[in-house]
A and B are shown apart, each in its own frame.
Chain A
Amino acid sequence: DAKTTQPPSMDCAEGRAANLPCNHSTISGNEYVYWYRQIHSQGPQYIIHGLKNNETNEMASLIITEDRKSSTMLLPHATLRDTAVYYCIVRANNAGNMLTFGGGTRLMVKP
């Protein structure tokens, strides 16, 4: 699986949009971009994933560049409960479906 690069930490004001970037310049054509988050002392939580089109669900939006070498996950109205480590992962959908977690971005939402 391709590796990803994320900033180690970011701050966001409560109620504002949080835009979390991810670089995946070596992504392959069959690899999806997945986002998970981990709130302190809990298991990771799936947020969103996409292949090349932008995606939106009840939690977030995913914007993937046309060349697929980077993406941004957007939380439209961040709350204090969104404080967590956010992981960007690229992975092909195969039989094992394994995830390789990197360091992630620690998002701190401040009042």
Chain B
Amino acid sequence: SQTIHQWPATLVQPVGSPLSLECTVEGTSNPNLYWYRQAAGRGLQLLFYSVGIGQISSEVPQNLSASRPQDRQFILSSKKLLLSDSGFYLCAWSGLAGGRSYEQYFGPGTRLTVT
């Protein structure tokens, strides 16, 4: 079966510090990968998606970036965090290996607080 991991689960970082959040998927190959952000009390906002290694599409201009160094690894980064970067960051994958194509399966999330 497929599993998706995110770490860390929670993070408190000062303004201006760098960020690196990691997401890995097991049990599938060539997944589509996604990063979402959910601000407190708000809906989910798609930040980035990737259909393959090194292929990143950005949905929202911001001070965040994403990379996909390996097939099942997706990294969200920032060089300098802003207060507005606080939120719940979710990684998701979709693909045919799940038996039902096209659904997205979400990880447990990382709760980031920028102070």
A residues with CB within 8 A of B: 32, 34, 36, 38, 41-46, 49, 87, 93, 95-104
Contacts and interface: CB of A to CB of B under 8 A. Distances in A.
B32 A43 contact: no
A63 B103 CA distance: 19
Contacts, number: 55
Given A93-B102, A102-B43, 11 more contacts: A42-B108, A43-B108, A44-B92, A46-B103, A49-B103, A87-B43, A93-B101, A96-B51, A98-B34, A98-B49, A99-B34
A79 B109 CA distance: 24
A96 B109 contact: no
Tell me if B's interface is mostly helix, strand, loop or mixed: strand
B104 A99 contact: yes
A96 B90 contact: no
A3 to B, nearest CB: 12
Interface in B99-115: 101-109, 111
B44 interface: yes
Contacts of B44: 38, 44, 99, 101
A51 to B, nearest CB: 11
A49 B36 CA distance: 21
B102 A97 contact: yes
B58 interface: no
A90 to B, nearest CB: 13
Contacts of A49: 102-103
B94 A97 contact: yes
Contacts of B102: 32, 49, 93, 97
The 3 A-B residue pairs with the shortest CB-CB distance, nearest first, are A43-B106, A101-B44, A46-B103
A42 B109 contact: yes
Contacts of B39: none
B43 A96 contact: no
30 contacts: A34-B103, A36-B104, A41-B111, A42-B108, A42-B109, A43-B90, A43-B92, A43-B107, A43-B109, A44-B44, A44-B106, A46-B105, A49-B103, A87-B43, A93-B101, A95-B51, A96-B32, A96-B51, A97-B32, A97-B104, A98-B46, A98-B49, A98-B59, A99-B34, A99-B44, A99-B46, A101-B43, A101-B44, A101-B45, A104-B43
